[in-house]
Structure 1
Amino acid sequence: MSTTFNKKLIFPMVLGSVLNPINSSMIAVALVPIAVAFGVGSSETAWLVSALYFATAIGQPVVGKLIDSYGPRKLFLIGTVLVGVAGVIALFTPVFWLLVVARIILGLGTTAGYPAAMFLIKSEGKRTGEDNPAWILTLLVISSQTVAVIGPTLGGFLIHLGGFRLVFSINIPLAVIAFLAGYFVLPKEHTKTQVSKMDWVGVLYFSIATFSLLFFLMNPHITYISFLVLTIIAGFLFVRRENAMKDPFINLDVLRGNRPLIRTYIRILLAATVQYSFMYGFAQWLEIGRGLSEVSAGMLMMPTFISSIIISALAGRSSKYFIKTFVGGIVQFLSISLLLLTTNTSSIIYLIIVAAGFGITTGLLNLANQNVLYFQADPKTIGASSGLLRTFSYFGAMLAGASSGAFMNHQNPTFGFHQMAFLNLCLALIFIGITWYDRHNLQKLKGSIKK
C-alpha cells in the first residue's frame, strides 16, 4: 500500500473546487452587458450573483453531510451534470429570469467540489499518516485564485467574441471534463459508517429563512417587511428543530461548544462580504463609472488575483495564523479606504494599486481561514464543517450582491460605489476587532502544520 498522497486525485479535486470561483469571477464583467441585453437594471442583475450563492448556501452543508455519509464520488458526478445543464439553459434562454434559474442550478452543481476535496484530503491523510497535508490545502487555495485570475479577463474576451452567453456556456465542456475525471479517478468504495437520514424539515426552515432574508435585502423597503418577519419566524423554528434533533441538519450544539470555530465563520462572513462587494462593485464601476470596456475591466481585475496568488504561495506554509489574519484585516481596511478616493478620472496606475491591495488581503484571509478550519473542526464531520465554512462565505456573497444592487443602481455610479465602500469599511473594522479578540486561540495553532 502506498504511503504517499494519491496524486491521481489532485486533478478532479482541483477542477471540482474551481468551478464556483471561475463562474463567480467571470460574471463580474458580464453584469453590465446582461443588463443592456435584457433591459434590466443593476438591482435585477444582482440576482445573478445572489441566486447562485443562495443555492450554494443551502446546498453546501447538505452535500457536505451527504459526502460524510456516502463518500464523494456520486455527489461529485451529480454536481458536474448540473453544471452542464446550467450551461445549456443559459445558452438558449430568451428570458432574463431563466438566466437566474440557470445560476441557481449552477450553484447547486458546484456545491460538491470543495467538501469532496476536503473529505479526500482527510481520508488520504488517514491512510498515509500525513495528518496535516499543508501542501494540498495550499494547492486548493492557489488553484481557486489562479482560475479567478483568468476569470474576469476570460469573461471580457468571451463577451467581446460572442456575447455574455459564452460566459455561461463555457461550463458545458468544463462539466464534461470534470465528470470524466471524477468517474475514472475518484474511489468507488466507501464504508458507510455514519449513514443518517437527512433532516429535510431543518433544511426547509433554513431555506425559507435564508431566501426571505435575501429577498428583503434585495428589496429593502417597508413594503417587504413581512419577509423579514418570516426570516425571524423560520429562523426560530430552525433553531428549535435542530436543538431537538438527534442528528440535525446543522449541529448547533457543536457550534456552541466550539467558539473559536464560530469566530472563524464570522470572520469568513465579514471578509467574503468585503471581497465580493469589491469584485462585483469594482467591475461594474469600471464599466459604467470609469467608462471602460468589458475586456479592459477584466484586465484591471487581474492585479487582485495575481497578488492573491503570490501572497498565498509566500504565506502558504506559515502557521502564524494570527499574523496572517490580522495583517490581512489591516490591508483590507486600507484598500477600502483607497476606494473612497476613486473618481471617474482616477489613473489606471492608482486603480491597479487598489486592485492589488485587495488581492493581498484575499490571499491572506482565504488561506488562513481554510487552514484554521482544518484544525478546529471535528475530523468526523470535516465535510460538513468545510461546507458550512463555504456557506458563510456565500452568505457574504449574497450580502455583497444585495449591496451592489442597491448602491450601483444610483444615477451617479461613483457616488453609489463610495457608499458601498463606506459600508465595507465598517465591516473591515469589525473584522479587525474580532481577530484581535481571538488572537490567543489563533496563536495556539502556531506550528500545527507539517511542512
Structure 2
Amino acid sequence: MNARNIWLMISVGLGIMLNPLNSSMISIAIERLQQEFSLDVNAVSWIIFSFYIASAVAQPVMGKCSDLFGRRKIFLIGLVVVFVSSMLAPLSPDFSWLIIFRIIQSVGTSMMVAVGMAIVRIHVTEKQAAALSILAMFLSGAAAIGPFICGVLIHWWDWQSVFLVNIPLVIASFIFAWKTIPKETTLKTNHGDMSMKKWFLLIDPPGILLFTVALVTLLMSVLSVKSTGHLLTWHLMAGGIGLLALASFIRHELKTASPFIPLKVFAKYPEMTWVNVQFMLVNTLFYALFFGVPSYLQQVRHLNEVHTGLMMLTLGLCSLISSPFAGRWIDKSGTRPALIVSAVLMTFGSILIVALDKTSPVVNVILPLAVFGISNGLNSVGMQAALFKSTPKDMIGVASGIFNTSRYLGTILSSLLIGIVMGDTFSFIGFQMHGIILTVLAASLIMMTLRRQKSSATQTL
C-alpha cells in the first residue's frame, strides 16, 4: 500500500473510530449520570439504547446519501455534527437534552462509519483487505479502549469530559480528511438541474420514513419490555405498528423505481444477505462478552472502573495485533480460512467463560478476552472483505450502511441477552449461564460459516 493510501486510511480511521469509542465509553459513565440526574437504572440506560437505535437507522440513510451526493462531503459534514453535539452535550440542562445531543452525536458518527468503507472500496483498488485491516484497528481498538478512557476521565474529571474528549479527534480527522479524501467528479445527481419531484423520487423519503418507523418502534418495544420487566399493552401496540411499518416498507421498496434499500438486488445477490446475518451474530457474541465481563469483574471480583478498563484492554490489544495479520492473510487466501478460524476461536473463548469461577486466576480471565480479541480482528477484516466481494460497486454506500446496522442490531441483541439471563441483579450463576448460551451461539456460527463458505465456493466454480 502506497503512502497516499496509508494517509487516507488514517484520516478515515480517525473519523470512524468516534462511533465505537462513544458507544463503549458511556457504559462506564452510567452510574455517574444516574447520580447527576437522579434517575433509576432503567431510565439512564436509554443513553446507551438511544445511541444504538439512532446508529442503526442513520447508517443506511447516510450510506444512501453518500452514494447520491458524495462520500467526502458526507464524511466532513459528519465531523462537524459530532463537533457541535460534543460541545453542547456537557451543557445539557436535563437528561432529555443530553439524550437529544447523544442522538445527534450518533447521527454524526454514523455519517462517517457508513461512508468510510465506501471510500476504501472506491479509492483503494489493490490489497483492500490490508486497507480494511487498518480501519479494523481503529474500530476494534476504539471499542475496547473506550471503557478504560472513560474510567480515567470519570475518575479525574466528570461525565462532561466523556463528550469533550471527542473534540481533538474531530479536529485531527477533519484536517486529514480535507487533505486526503479525493473530491468526486462524477455523481449520480446533477444538483443544479434537479426539480424537487426528482429529488423526492431519487432519495426515497417514504422508504426512509417507513424503515425508520419500523426499526425504532420494534426496538423500543423490545427494549422497553427489558427495562420494565413486564409486557404492557403499549409494548404490544408499538410492536404491531413496527411490524405494519416493516411490511409497508418491504412492499414500497419492491415497487418504487429508486428504492432506499434495493431489496431486489439483495434477492439477486443472496450472499449479501448472509454476510449481514452472520455479521449480526458475530457482534451479538462479541458484545455479549464485551458487556458481560466488566460486570463480572466489578460485581464478582470487586475491581474498580480503572482496573476493569485495564483488564478489558486485552480485548482491544489482541484485536489491534491480529487485524494487520488478518489483512495479509485474507489478501492471500480469501475470507474462508479466516472466518472459520474466527468462529472456532469464539467457541473456545465462550467455553473458557463457562469455566470461570469466583476465584479464577487473572490469567483465566485474560485468556477468553485475548481469544475474542483475536477473533474480532479476523472478523472485522474478513466480514468487510466478504461484503465487498458480494456487493455491486455502485451500491457500496447503502450496503455499508446496512452492514453497520447489522452491527448495532447485534449489539442490541447482546444487551437483551444479558438482561434476560441476568434479570435485575447480576449473579455469578447467571454469568455462567450466559457463557453456555454464548457457546451454543458460537457453535452455530461455525456451522453457518462452513455452510456459507462452501456454498460460495460452489457458486464460484
With normalisation by structure 2, the TM-score equals 0.87
SS at match of 1:192: coil
C-alpha separation between the residues in 2 aligned to 1:445 and 1:39? 58
C-alpha separation between the residues in 2 aligned to 1:385 and 1:253? 13
Q: Which residue identity does 1:21 align to in structure 2?
A: P
Q: Which residue identity does 1:168 align to in structure 2?
A: F
State the partner residue of 2:438: 424
* Cα deviation 1:72-131 (Å, max 9, x = unaligned): 222112211221232223312253343332321121011122333333323324xxxx35
Note the 1:327-338 alignment, pairs <5 A: 327-338=341-352
Q: Deviation at 1:186?
A: 3.1
Note the 1:33-432 alignment, pairs <5 A: 33-125=32-124, 130-193=125-188, 197-220=202-225, 221-223=230-232, 224-318=235-329, 319-407=333-421, 410-432=424-446
Native 8 Å contact 2:60 2:402 kept in 1: yes
Native 8 Å contact 2:299 2:426 kept in 1: no
Native 8 Å contact 2:141 2:317 kept in 1: yes
Root-mean-square deviation (CA, aligned residues, Å) is 2.5
User: CA, structure 1 residues 420+92, in 2 after alignment: closer, same or farther (shift >3 Å)?
Assistant: farther
How many residues are aligned here? 440
User: CA, structure 1 residues 240+51, in 2 after alignment: closer, same or farther (shift >3 Å)?
Assistant: same
Q: Which residue identity does 1:432 align to in structure 2?
A: I
Greater Cα shift, 80-89 or 240-249: 80-89
C-alpha separation between the residues in 2 aligned to 1:230 and 1:422? 34
Q: Which residue identity does 1:324 align to in structure 2?
A: A
User: CA, structure 1 residues 320+132, in 2 after alignment: closer, same or farther (shift >3 Å)?
Assistant: closer
Native 8 Å contact 1:41 1:409 kept in 2: no
Q: Deviation at 1:37?
A: 4.0
C-alpha separation between the residues in 2 aligned to 1:336 and 1:44? 31
SS at match of 2:425: coil
SS at match of 1:43: helix
Q: Deviation at 1:407?
A: 4.7
SS at match of 2:170: helix
Structure number having the greater helix percentage: 2
C-alpha separation between the residues in 2 aligned to 1:282 and 1:403? 14
C-alpha separation between the residues in 2 aligned to 1:445 and 1:103? 44
User: CA, structure 1 residues 364+183, in 2 after alignment: closer, same or farther (shift >3 Å)?
Assistant: closer
Native 8 Å contact 1:263 1:434 kept in 2: no
User: CA, structure 1 residues 63+292, in 2 after alignment: closer, same or farther (shift >3 Å)?
Assistant: same
Unaligned runs of 5+ in 1: 447-451
Q: Which residue identity does 2:90 align to in structure 1?
A: L
Unaligned runs of 5+ in 2: 191-198
User: CA, structure 1 residues 349+34, in 2 after alignment: closer, same or farther (shift >3 Å)?
Assistant: farther
State the partner residue of 2:14: 15
Native 8 Å contact 1:122 1:131 kept in 2: no
C-alpha separation between the residues in 2 aligned to 1:166 and 1:191? 41
Q: Which residue identity does 1:49 align to in structure 2?
A: I
* Cα deviation 1:164-199 (Å, max 9, x = unaligned): 321222112322333333334433443223576211
